[in-house]
Amino acid sequence: MARIIQEHIAAHNEKFQRQVHQDYEALGWQLTRRGVDIDKVREQVAAFGVAIPSWGVGTGGTRFARFPGSGEPRHVFDKIEDCGVIQQLARATPTVSLHIPWDKCSDWSELRQAAAAQGLSFDAMNSNTFSDAKGQALSYKFGSLSHTDAATRAQAVEHNIECIEIGKKIGSKALTVWVGDGSNFPGQSHFRRAFDRYLDSSRQIYAALPGDWRMFLEHKIAEPAFYSTVIQDWGSSYLAATALGPQAQCLVDLGHHAPNVNIEMIVARLIAAGKLAGFHFNDSKYGDDDLDAGSVSPYRLFLVFNELVAAAHENVQGFQPAYMLDQSHNVTDPIESLMTSAAQVLRTYAQALLVDRAALDAAQEANDAMTASQLLKTAFQTDVTPLLQRVRQDAGGAVDPVACYRASGYRQQAAQERPAVQGGGGGIV
Ligand SMILES: [Mn+2]
């Protein structure tokens, strides 16, 4: 299937050319008055990338139902094609994060070439021991890396090592491990023993990690285990990552915390400890809702980015977080949602770059809470839309990615070429 032709994007951009130029100039003057060089901010934003999860281009679902969309990807090569369109139009997602076994294929070098043809490379590998793969010998119904049965734990370890082996073939440099292990009833699980078993299994995975790889431990407070989870919070994650060694770090999925938890504080703690692996961006109102990034609480996302920009500004040693989207699209076209979320991540990064760090430092030192708070608000309330449009336009993307995508007819074409299939991975991690 042909990607969206560049002439279509150029014609789309042509309509906005004058407007983008004028708005960018106006924003430039506004920022100049605040002592900010808009071109420097633009360069930083243009260099920022967030990975697409391969499972994100399929329609998600809830435990009640899944309503498949049309033209859904049938296999990993279709997924790469969709990811290529997202990158082509939004220019913020140069990498893809694979999920095994959902993305298994027979020729990894062919996949690597297919991705490269779309201007894509591969980010962290994701293992799956929270569901049973077809033909799998032992079930993960009662856990995986922390299972009471040694053979089941060994099978889960082996699977993670296989993910590393696949990752080596496609240029990945990290393994993300999230386990659904936990319990649904008080008394069901011996908390300390389960954690010890998890550590013992994880040590075997860690030992298989190449020297230049990192292992990302993703915590989650609940679901599918609704009473307790083995790696329930950043504290457990930090304990495990510390026990494993320097290549193990803690990954923060924004949806994996109790309501109202101060996530930006957690981020700051992990940065200080040199243990921040990176992020799974999404948004939520109640729990692990997996809504589009910044769709409910954009200010919370901004406060997280404020910590990230501050750490970079202060040259915190070893600070190199990995960024990925992780959301489920139940009612929208996944391509539209992923482009919108990627743009939101870039927008929030740009806003955080606008915080007057010297003034904030001074306000904090002087205990001037009002000024400090206003400095953040001033940055957050700046409309950086023209800057984002310019970044996309300069890179050959679309000024308005969703409008350009809709007008391209890509989805309709995909629907014709990809007959609907049953099943497929629609998981949420
Ligand atoms: Mn996640």
Give 286-318 pLDDT, tens digit per residue: 999 999 999 999 999 999 999 999 999 999 999
Cβ proximity of 390 and 363 under 8 Å: no
Phi, psi of 324 (to 5 degrees): -145, 150
Cβ proximity of 127 and 164 under 8 Å: no
* pLDDT, position 63: 86
Domain definitions of the chain by residue range: 6-417
β pairing state of 182-183 and 228-229 = antiparallel
* pLDDT, position 367: 98
Taking the centre of ligand 1 as the mean of its atom positions, its distance from the CA of residue 376, in whole angstroms, is: 28
Chain segment 260-289, per-residue pLDDT in tens: 999 999 999 999 999 999 999 999 999 999
Taking the centre of ligand 1 as the mean of its atom positions, its distance from the CA of residue 9, in whole angstroms, is: 32
Taking the centre of ligand 1 as the mean of its atom positions, its distance from the CA of residue 324, in whole angstroms, is: 9
For the domain made up of 6-417, the CATH class stated in words is: alpha beta
* pLDDT, position 419: 84
Q: Which two tokens stand for residue 315?
A: 């040259």
Taking the centre of ligand 1 as the mean of its atom positions, its distance from the CA of residue 253, in whole angstroms, is: 5
Q: Which two tokens stand for residue 121?
A: 């490379």
Taking the centre of ligand 1 as the mean of its atom positions, its distance from the CA of residue 290, in whole angstroms, is: 9
Q: Which portions of the chain are predicted below pLDDT 50?
A: 424, 427-429
Taking the centre of ligand 1 as the mean of its atom positions, its distance from the CA of residue 252, in whole angstroms, is: 8
Taking the centre of ligand 1 as the mean of its atom positions, its distance from the CA of residue 104, in whole angstroms, is: 20
* pLDDT, position 420: 77
Taking the centre of ligand 1 as the mean of its atom positions, its distance from the CA of residue 351, in whole angstroms, is: 24
Taking the centre of ligand 1 as the mean of its atom positions, its distance from the CA of residue 361, in whole angstroms, is: 33
pTM, whole model, 2 decimals? 0.96
* pLDDT, position 429: 47
- b/e burial code for range 25-52 (CB count within 10 A of at least 16 → b): eebbeebeeeebebeebbeebbebbbbb
Taking the centre of ligand 1 as the mean of its atom positions, its distance from the CA of residue 282, in whole angstroms, is: 9
* pLDDT, position 3: 84
Q: Which two tokens stand for residue 413?
A: 């074409």
Taking the centre of ligand 1 as the mean of its atom positions, its distance from the CA of residue 429, in whole angstroms, is: 4
Taking the centre of ligand 1 as the mean of its atom positions, its distance from the CA of residue 346, in whole angstroms, is: 19
Taking the centre of ligand 1 as the mean of its atom positions, its distance from the CA of residue 326, in whole angstroms, is: 5
